[in-house]
Amino acid sequence: MSTTPAIRLTGLRRRFGKLQALDGLSLEVRQGEVYGFLGRNGAGKTTTLKLLMGILHADSGDIELFGERVKKVTVPLKRRIGYVSQEQNFYPWMTALQLGKFVSGFYPTWDEPEFKRLLALLDVPLERRASELSGGTRSKLGLALAFAPHPSLVLLDEPTAGLDPVARAEFNELLVRVVRERGTTAFFSSHIVDEVQQVAHRVGIIQAGKMRFEGEIALLLSTLRRLTGPFELPQSFTVVRGDIVQADAALWEQMQWPAGVVAATVDLEDAFLAFARTDAVRLPA
């Protein structure tokens, strides 16, 4: 992997009226890695991806792509990026092959044999109009269109939403293979924790427009435990939410808890739920 980040965001803020969608978001995606961008619906994932594509503009903060600070995502930059949005908006009368021919005009690196291979792999009908395709098949067509130009970076917004388990597994295999064989960088948002854990090198967990954790999954899990029993929390141990507690991995190894206290390891889903739900629990009156 290159030492130059494919993406670096610093202090990004974006407001929609009274809604603060991004509140000082910072993250870094290394070249040649799969980065899983985890967050609840409304956490700011889609806004981030639209900022990276130049569809939206930040109120403040910096965006760097391929080591260069950008104020505007130019056409040459967009040609290096494959993008799959949550909603696939195709010309309804076009078939998959016609859409490929149309999109190919924007990409000097378009690979028609690869496009047809991906359509076959993902089981997308060649001659059926886009308006006649199911939501899941439209998503797979979007993936084929994004990967066919051999982009340096792919931005995927909930890419497997609407896909059945078989198609989801096929996509995950495709993503891992493309990253491994071509050195492509993949930045994909999701709230499906198992999927992220299968394919991501690193993750970022976002909540209310702020980064709650960024790093390798194993590192994150080494700092967390589910702590139960009668105890007084020592310094350097922090409650994330409920009974999920965070501390340096070495502290967990050194700590001698009194009888009756259990410090159990957690999985990524436990971690995600703890970080993504940092609001106070409100009980009904």
DSSP string, the chain: --SSEEEEEEEEEEEETTEEEEEEEEEEEETT-EEEEE--TTSSHHHHHHHHTTSS--SEEEEEETTEEESS--HHHHTTEEEE-SS----TT-BHHHHHHHHHTT-TT--HHHHHHHHHHTT--SSSBGGGS-HHHHHHHHHHHHHTT--SEEEEESTTTT--HHHHHHHHHHHHHHHHHH--EEEEEES-HHHHHHH-SEEEEEETTEEEEEEEHHHHHHTEEEEESS--PPTT-EEEETTEEE--HHHHHH--PPTT-EEE---HHHHHHHHH--SPP----
What's the pLDDT tens digit per position in 76-107? 999 999 998 877 789 999 999 999 999 999 99
Per-residue confidence (pLDDT) for residue 280, from 0 to 100 = 46
The lowest-confidence range among 26-35, 49-58, 72-81, 175-184 is: 175-184
Query: In terms of pLDDT, which residue wins out, 133 or 279?
Result: 133
On whether the pTM is more than 0.75, the answer is: yes
Domains of the chain and CATH, by start: 29-57+73-215 (3.40.50.300), 223-276 (no CATH)
What's the pLDDT tens digit per position in 151-179? 999 999 988 877 778 878 888 888 888 88
Residue with tokens 């066919």: 148
% residues pLDDT > 70 (the chain): 96
Please say whether the beta carbons of 102 and 129 come within 8 A.
no
Please say whether the beta carbons of 7 and 187 come within 8 A.
yes
